[in-house]
Structure 1
Amino acid sequence: MTDVADLAQSLREVFGRAQRALREQGGRRGLTASQTEALGYVFRDGPMTITALANRQHVRSQSMGATVGVLRERGLVTVTPDPGDGRQKVVAVTAEARELIAEGRSVRTDWLAKQLETLSPAEQRTLAAAHSILDRLFP
């Protein structure tokens, strides 16, 4: 029987290496990790206030304001007053950001496909079977 704690540690390490490798392939396009993360939140979850974004990243609103300022200067987000609370600012991604994200995803997918092609057909089938299991663990 497999020791669950050992398996958990091993999988965590493999997932960490996979995440780093994929991140390197897509590139950050000159953005810091926190800028990339903030942009990702707004892309996935839709427009949100700077305060909500700061809470997601567990940073102060002032720090997030600086991060958003850089994203705004790069043309990746827009910042508008919150219609419900004029003191708040709402951050939304731009078309340029959507293109940048799509390009990065495409590069990472192509890279991963090339890595998978180095595996035997049996190994590819094993990974396909593991995918359904991992999908249940991380819905």
Structure 2
Amino acid sequence: MTSAPALASELRVGTGRFLRRLRAERGDADLPAAQFGVLTELTRRGPLTPGELAHSEGVRPPAMTRTVSALVDLGFVTKSEHPTDGRLVVVDLTDAGRREVAETRRRRDAWLSLRLGALTPQDRATLARANDLLQTLASG
């Protein structure tokens, strides 16, 4: 039986490799992870201030300002006045930003589905159970 510390190390390495490979599947814009992360956060939560985005993405506000400016230049987000605080701006997705998120997700799902389809039903069942366990680990 594998010890918890040994399994922890193996899972860390394995999930890291898996995530790097999955993230290599990108939409047409081939956005860096930080920019795509902002788009997905706006997809999940709706319009946010740059400060809220910086907090949720775990970066400093100046870094988020640069990321948002790059996304504005690409046409994926817009900035507008905050409805109640004139000192702030609100960042929101454009239709092009929504399409980029949808296309990246589609490509990632297609890549993963193809690989899962090559596995045996038993291996897919094992992964389904492992997914349940990973969800439990992530929430606890």
TM, length-normalised to structure 2: 0.87
| Residues 81, 90 of structure 2: 8 Å contact kept | yes
Residue type of the partner of 1:19?
Answer: L
Where do residues 1-139 of structure 1 align in structure 2 (5 Å cutoff)?
A: 1-27=1-27, 29-139=29-139
- Give the CA deviation at 1:105: 0.8
Runs of 4+ in 1 over 4 A off after TM superposition: none
Q: Distance in 2 between matches of 1:21 and 1:84?
A: 42
Q: Distance in 1 between matches of 2:110 and 2:63?
A: 35
Residue type of the partner of 1:101?
Answer: V
* 3-state SS, counterpart of residue 47 of structure 1: coil
Instruction: Say what the alpha-carbon RMSD is for the aligned residues.
Output: 1.8
Segments of structure 2 that go 5 or more residues without pairing to the other structure are none
Higher alpha-carbon deviation: 35-44 or 66-75: 35-44
> In the comparison of the two structures, how many residue pairs are matched?
139
Considering fraction of residues, name the structure with more strand.
1
| Residues 78, 92 of structure 1: 8 Å contact kept | yes
Segments of structure 1 that go 5 or more residues without pairing to the other structure are none
| Residues 50, 91 of structure 1: 8 Å contact kept | yes
TM, length-normalised to structure 1: 0.88
| Residues 27, 101 of structure 2: 8 Å contact kept | no
- Give the CA deviation at 1:73: 1.5
Q: Tell me the alpha carbon deviations over residues 81-103 of structure 1, each in whole angstroms, 9 at most, x when there is no partner.
A: 11121111111111211111111
| Residues 47, 91 of structure 2: 8 Å contact kept | yes
Higher alpha-carbon deviation: 14-23 or 37-46: 37-46
Q: Distance in 1 between matches of 2:25 and 2:58?
A: 27
- Give the CA deviation at 1:27: 4.8
Q: Percent identity?
A: 39
